[in-house]
C-alpha cells in the first residue's frame, strides 16, 4: 500500500487504528518531496522539523491522549498565508527573507486539530496570475504534463495535491485562484463564501475578494478541512458570525429534487469542444439521477473580467503600498535618500506583473478616472451580484465549466497579459458576488488531462455544494464522464 496515494481521511483512519504512524507518513512524504519535487517545483519551503512533530504525535497516540481531527497529518500551505517561524514570501523577491512572528487564524485552527505544516507552496507573485509562472522563484509544472502550467495563483498547492506531494493544502482565491488550478491539476478546490473563513494572516491581494479555502484529493477531505477553518474571527472585520455547519454530515449521494441552473453565457464560443461535451454528458447523467436542470441567463456575465481587474488592481495597488523597504522585507542597497530607497526597493523587489497591476490600479483610482472606471465597475459588480441572487430565488445550485480550456503550455500566454487574464473568465464573477463555489475534477477521454466542473451555491450554503459534489464524485467513479 502506497500511503501517499491515499486521501487525508483514509490516512486519518489508519492512524486512529494505529495501523500506521505519523512518523511513517511524514518521512515518506518528505522523501517523495526531496526526490520528485525538483521537477514539479510545487514547494518553496519544506519544513524538515515536521519529523519531530510527527514523533510527538505518535507519543500522544501511544499514551492514549485526545487527538485532533488532523492529528499527525501533513498539510501544505500557500506561501501568502502567514506561518510563525516559517518563511512567507508570497512568491516575491521583496519578501525573500520574511519570517512572520505569528500564525494566520487558519493555521492556528489547523494546528489546534493536530495538523503538521509540511511546507509552503509556490504561487504567482502576490497571487497575481493564472499560471504560477509569475513566481520570483521559477514556475511550477503541471503533474499531468510537465510542459503545461498548473494554473494559478495557487498552482503550487494544486500541483502538490495532484502529485501526492501532500495530503491536502490551503490556497487563496481572489478571482479563481483555488478553483482554476484545481481544475488544471485534477483536484478538488473549494472557495468558501466571503466572510466564512478568516483572512487574518493572509497577505492581501484584493481585500473585498480574497478568501482562503482547501485544495484536496476528494470531497470528504474538503468538507473536513472547511469545517475546521471556518468561523467568526474577531481579528478579521470581514469575518461573519454565521453558524458553521457539520459539513461532513452532508456527504450523501442523493441529488433528487436539486434544482440546477446552467447559464448559457458559460457555454460560449471559445469553450473547448471536449470540455463542453464532457460537461454536457455529465449534465445528462445528473438528470438521470433525479436532478432538475434548466438553462438560465446571467446577463451581465460578459462584464465580469473587466470589472474584476479594475476593482482588483485598485485594491492591490493600495494593499501593496506597505512594501517599501522600511519595516520588513527586501531593501535596495542603492539609494541616497528616502525617495530613492522606495523607488529602487520596489523596482528591484517587485516582478513585472506586480508592477503592471500597481500601475493599472493607481490609474483607475486617480482623480481623472475614478468615476469613469472604478465607480462604474462597482456599479456593474452590483448588477452581476443581482444576477446570481435572482437565479438563486429559483435554483439551489448553478453549474458551469471551471475553465474554458485545458491546461495551457508553459510560456504560451506569458507575454500576453490579456490572454492570461481571460483564464479567470468562468470564476471571477463568483468572487465579485462573494459566493461559495467548488471545482470537481473530471478527466478527459482523449488526453487524460483534467477538466473542471464548477458548482456555485447561494451565500453560506456550502453544505449544498458538499452534498451535490459528493454525489457527482460517486457518479464519476473513475473520474471520467464518457
State the greatest distance between any 2 C-alpha atoms of the chain, in Å, as a whole number: 72
Q: How far is CA 360 from the centre of its chain?
A: 24
Q: Pick the catalytic residue: 42, 130, 177, 423? A: 177
Q: Is 153 a catalytic residue?
A: yes
Q: Which of 19, 18, 16, 23 is nearest to 1 (CA)?
A: 19
CA distance 38 to 378: 43
Q: What is the CA radius of gyration of the chain?
A: 21
CA distance 405 to 414: 16
Q: Is 222 a catalytic residue?
A: no
Which residues are CB-contacts of 68 (< 8 A; sequence separation ≥ 6)?
112, 113, 114, 115
CA distance 206 to 318: 9
Residue pair 174/206 in contact (Cβ under 8 Å)? The answer is yes
* Residue labelled with grid coordinates 518528505: 30
Q: Which of 209, 205, 176, 204 is nearest to 190 (CA)?
A: 176
Q: Which helix (H) or strand (E) holds 357?
A: helix 352-365
CA distance 106 to 103: 8
9: left (phi over 0), alpha (psi -120 to 50) or beta: alpha
Q: Pick the catalytic residue: 69, 78, 93, 191? A: 78
CA-to-CA dists, residue 464 to 100, 113, 223, 227, angstroms: 36, 25, 11, 14
Residue pair 441/419 in contact (Cβ under 8 Å)? The answer is no
Q: Which helix (H) or strand (E) holds 295?
A: strand 292-296
Length of the chain: 482
10: left (phi over 0), alpha (psi -120 to 50) or beta: alpha
Residue 121 β-bridge partners: 43, 78
Residue pair 117/77 in contact (Cβ under 8 Å)? The answer is yes
300, 305, 310, 312: CA torsion to nearest 10: 110
CA-to-CA dists, residue 176 to 106, 153, 208, 304, angstroms: 19, 8, 14, 12
Q: Is 177 a catalytic residue?
A: yes
Q: Pick the catalytic residue: 7, 130, 135, 153? A: 153
Strands 397-401, 259-263: pairing is: parallel
Residues annotated as part of the active site: 78, 153, 177
Amino acid at each position: 500500500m502506497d500511503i501517499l496515494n491515499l486521501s487525508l481521511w483514509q490516512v486519518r483512519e489508519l492512524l486512529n487504528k494505529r495501523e500506521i504512524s505519523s512518523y511513517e507518513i511524514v518521512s515518506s512524504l518528505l522523501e517523495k518531496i526531496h526526490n520528485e519535487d525538483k521537477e514539479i517545483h510545487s514547494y518553496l519551503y519544506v519544513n524538515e522539523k515536521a519529523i519531530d512533530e510527527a514523533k510527538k504525535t505518535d507519543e500522544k497516540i501511544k499514551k492514549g491522549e485526545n487527538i485532533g481531527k488532523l492529528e499527525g497529518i501533513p498539510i501544505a500551505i500557500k506561501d501568502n498565508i502567514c506561518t510563525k517561524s516559517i518563511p512567507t514570501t508570497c512568491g516575491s523577491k521583496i519578501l525573500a527573507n520574511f519570517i512572520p512572528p505569528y500564525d494566520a487564524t487558519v493555521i492556528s485552527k489547523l494546528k489546534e486539530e493536530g495538523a503538521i505544516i509540511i511546507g509552503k507552496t509556490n504561487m504567482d507573485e502576490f497571487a497575481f496570475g493564472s499560471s504560477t509562472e509569475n513566481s520570483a522563484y521559477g514556475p511550477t509544472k503541471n503533474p499531468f504534463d510537465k510542459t503545461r502550467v498548473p494554473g494559478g495563483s495557487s498552482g503550487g498547492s494544486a500541483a502538490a495535491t495532484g502529485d501526492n506531494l501532500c495530503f491536502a493544502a490551503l490556497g487563496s482565491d481572489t478571482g479563481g485562484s483555488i478553483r482554476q488550478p484545481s481544475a488544471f491539476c485534477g483536484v478538488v478546490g473549494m472557495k468558501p463564501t466571503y466572510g466564512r473563513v478568516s483572512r487574518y494572516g493572509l497577505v492581501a491581494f484584493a481585500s473585498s475578494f480574497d478568501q482562503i479555502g482547501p485544495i484536496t484529493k476528494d470531497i470528504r477531505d474538503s468538507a473536513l478541512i472547511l469545517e475546521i477553518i471556518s468561523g467568526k474571527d474577531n481579528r478579521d472585520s470581514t469575518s461573519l458570525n454565521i453558524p458553521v455547519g457539520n459539513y461532513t454530515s452532508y456527504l450523501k449521494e442523493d441529488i433528487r429534487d436539486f434544482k440546477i441552473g446552467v447559464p448559457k453565457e458559460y457555454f460560449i464560443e471559445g469553450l473547448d469542444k471536449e470540455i463542453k461535451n464532457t460537461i454536457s454528458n455529465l449534465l445528462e447523467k445528473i438528470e438521470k439521477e433525479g436532478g432538475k436542470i434548466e438553462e438560465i441567463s446571467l446577463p451581465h456575465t460578459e462584464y465580469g473580467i473587466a470589472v474584476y481587474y479594475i476593482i482588483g488592481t485598485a485594491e492591490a495597488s493600495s494593499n501593496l503600498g506597505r512594501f517599501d523597504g522600511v519595516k520588513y522585507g527586501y531593501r535596495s542597497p542603492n539609494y541616497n535618500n528616502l525617495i530613492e530607497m522606495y523607488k529602487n526597493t520596489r523596482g528591484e523587489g517587485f516582478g513585472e506583473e506586480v508592477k503592471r497591476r500597481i500601475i493599472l490600479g493607481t490609474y483607475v483610482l486617480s482623480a481623472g478616472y475614478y468615476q469613469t472606471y472604478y465607480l462604474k465597475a462597482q456599479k456593474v459588480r452590483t448588477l452581476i451580484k443581482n444576477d446570481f441572487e435572482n437565479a438563486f430565488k429559483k435554483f439551489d445550485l448553478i453549474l458551469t465549466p471551471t475553465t474554458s480550456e485545458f491546461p495551457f503550455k508553459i510560456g504560451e500566454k506569458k507575454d500576453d497579459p490579456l490572454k492570461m487574464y481571460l483564464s479567470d473568465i468562468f470564476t471571477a464573477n463568483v468572487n465579485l458576488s462573494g459566493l461559495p463555489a467548488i471545482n470537481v475534477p473530471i478527466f478527459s477521454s482523449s488526453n487524460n488531462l483534467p477538466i473542471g466542473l464548477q458548482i456555485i451555491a447561494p451565500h453560506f450554503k456550502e453544505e449544498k455544494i458538499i452534498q451535490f459534489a459528493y454525489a457527482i464524485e460517486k457518479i464519476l467513479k473513475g473520474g471520467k464522464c464518457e
